[in-house]
Structure formats: structure tokens, C-alpha cells
Structure 1
Amino acid sequence: MRLTPVPSLPEIRLYMAHPGSGLRRLLEPDGDADESAAEPQPPYWAYAWAGGAVLARYVLDRPSIVMDRRVLDLGAGSGLVGIAAAKAGAREVLATEIDCNGVVALGLNAAANGVAITTIGEDITAGPPPAVDLVLAGDVFYGQAVARRVIPFLDRC
């Protein structure tokens, strides 16, 4: 993966997929990918989703929203929104991510941007919300099953 600036967010760089990244090996159970086949869609944590990019831009342009607050980046993926919150002055950033590869990517991206993010590598939507001041959820409504878990959690927040 290449460390590149995020479109419309030049102050943030992420490790993102590209055609030669070989990430399809993570998607194929036997690891025997046909090298001539088209590259499948990369894992969601390997690129910047539009909703997360817009939310990150919003946070960076309005740092008072997160300044000195404990912030939760729910369904963090690459960590883009949490990184923006940390850069904008959040006191602490927690990020939840259920994919183990996503947790690693999130840590690499946070380090590449010089910010500290505490990662929770499990689904927290069934329980009580962590002690935070603000929940940021950029791209958590991509599927019905996920939305059914997230909406009640956000209501509890």
C-alpha cells in the first residue's frame, strides 16, 4: 500500500490500496490469486470512503467541535475521521474497528500522521457506549444489518 494524501484532505495521509497492492490475497481464502484477474474491490479500510472524508473535512474546518473532547470514531476503518479529530485538538480519540487488518491499518495511519488513537478491536454496539463527549460515525450505514446495530447504539449515546 502507498502512503498518499487523501483527496480534499491534503493534511492527512493514509496507506491506501492501488492496483499493484496485492490486497486481493486477503480476500481469497486459499491465497492462490490468479495474477491476470482484475483486482477486486479492496477492503474498506484500504481507502477513504466519501462519508468519512466529508466528516473529516468538516472536523478539520471546525476544530472547536472536537477541541479538548474525548471522541469516538465509530467503525473507523482506515482511521480517517479519528485522525482528523486528533489533528483538530481532541483530548483523546477512541476508534472502534472490528476487522483485524483494519485495526493494523488504523494504527499505521495514525502513526503516519503523528497522532495517538486508542483502538478498540471489537463490536461495541451491543453494549453501553464508552465514556466520550462526542461520537463521530462517517460510513456506518453501508448495510442494513450494520445499521440495525448502529442506530440503537447511537440512540444510547
Structure 2
Amino acid sequence: EPQPPYWAYAWAGGAVLARYILDRPVSVAGLRVLDLGAGSGLVGIAAAKAGAREVLASEIDRNGVAALGLNAAANGVAITVVGQDITAGPPPPVDVVAAGDLFYGQDLADRVIPFLDRCLAARINVLIGDPGRTYLPRSRLRLLAEYRVPDVGEAKGAAMKPSGVFSFEPE
């Protein structure tokens, strides 16, 4: 039976970031937020609902971009979608970058980390949600919160592992 595409799941990192933002609206209220690698838009929608002034979502998968637009509309929030990889360039004019589950592959981590460093250099606060994937830059993270959530691809009824929300810190 065919697997749904990766963006159709609430991955653990995105799920915990969304929960964190909804639990602590002060983390985004009145601010401009970028949902990096937004998938279906869960984190960006949470940010909009928590009072972000503006939400930008970047997602490279065309179907993910379409799903994002539909999900934002279904939730009654406005999200500006950027349908391309923005990690090679300068950070957009935002106050907070939320990155959920972007450390599962070496090539992706190698693109994302320098981008997040440019965000820090531009005085942008970086939040990372992750269940502890292989290429997570652990030495650069400060744990803000932990939640138990199911993860992508796990069998129904599987034990839920803790996933963290971290702030990304300068080297």
C-alpha cells in the first residue's frame, strides 16, 4: 500500500514546536515567524494562532506547498508561502525561525546549520523541534521543553519517545 508523502505526517519535531508555541504564545506574539521546511504548515499555523504578526513558511515540495495553503485557509490564518529552498541565501526579515525535524539527513543538516548561523548573526531567535535525529547539532542546543509525541512512520500504539524544543545557540 502506498505511503503518504512525508509532509502529510505531523513529524515529532514539528508537533512539539507547535505545542510549545501554543503553550507559550509569548514566544511568537507580535513577531514575524519563519516556519522553515514547513511541510503541511503545522508550526506556522500554530504561530499564527498564537498571535504572530506575520508568518512565512518555506517548503520545497510542490504538494506540500499546496497542502500548506489549504491548511492555513482551513484554520483561518494567513501564511505567506515560499515554495523554494531559502537556505542558500540570507535569512528573510523575521524575528523567529522555527525549524522542525530538519536533521534527519547529512546533506540537509549541512545546508540548514549555516543558514541558522546566518539567522543568529542577524539577531533572529532560532527554535528547533527534534526527537533526537542523527544529525542534530546537539552541542549547539539548549533544551526549552520536552514532550512525548508519536513520530513519523511509527506503528500505531508504539511507545512515545520524548522530543525536545531547543534554542539554537551561537558556537
Per the normalisation by structure 1, the TM-score is 0.74
Listed as ranges, the gaps of 5+ residues in structure 1 are 1-37
Higher mean C-alpha displacement, 78-87 vs 137-146: 137-146
SS at match of 1:76: coil
TM alignment of 1:78-97, pairs within 5 A: 78-97=40-59
* Alignment partner of 1:57 out of 16, 19, 26: 19
- Point out the structure with the larger strand share: 2
- Give the C-alpha shift of residue 45 in structure 1: 1.3
Match of residue 109 from structure 2: 147
* Alignment partner of 1:110 out of 59, 69, 72: 72
SS at match of 2:86: coil
Letter of the structure 2 residue corresponding to residue 85 of structure 1: A
- Give the C-alpha shift of residue 103 in structure 1: 0.3
Letter of the structure 1 residue corresponding to residue 74 of structure 2: A
- Give the C-alpha shift of residue 140 in structure 1: 1.0
Letter of the structure 1 residue corresponding to residue 20 of structure 2: Y
Q: Distance in 2 between matches of 1:112 and 1:96?
A: 19
Listed as ranges, the gaps of 5+ residues in structure 2 are 120-171
SS at match of 2:100: coil
- Give the C-alpha shift of residue 42 in structure 1: 1.6
* Alignment partner of 2:32 out of 70, 76, 92: 70
- Give the C-alpha shift of residue 114 in structure 1: 0.7
Q: Distance in 1 between matches of 2:82 and 2:98?
A: 15
Of structures 1 and 2, the one scoring higher in RCO (CA 8 A, sep 6+) is: 2
Q: Which runs of 4+ in 1 moved over 4 A?
A: none
* Alignment partner of 1:45 out of 1, 4, 7: 7
Match of residue 125 from structure 1: 87
* Structure possessing the higher radius of gyration over alpha carbons: 1
- Give the C-alpha shift of residue 134 in structure 1: 0.4
CA-atom RMSD in angstroms:
0.7
- CA deviation digits over 1:17-57, x for unaligned, max 9? xxxxxxxxxxxxxxxxxxxxx22x32111111111001100
- Count, aligned residues: 119
Q: Distance in 2 between matches of 1:142 and 1:113?
A: 28
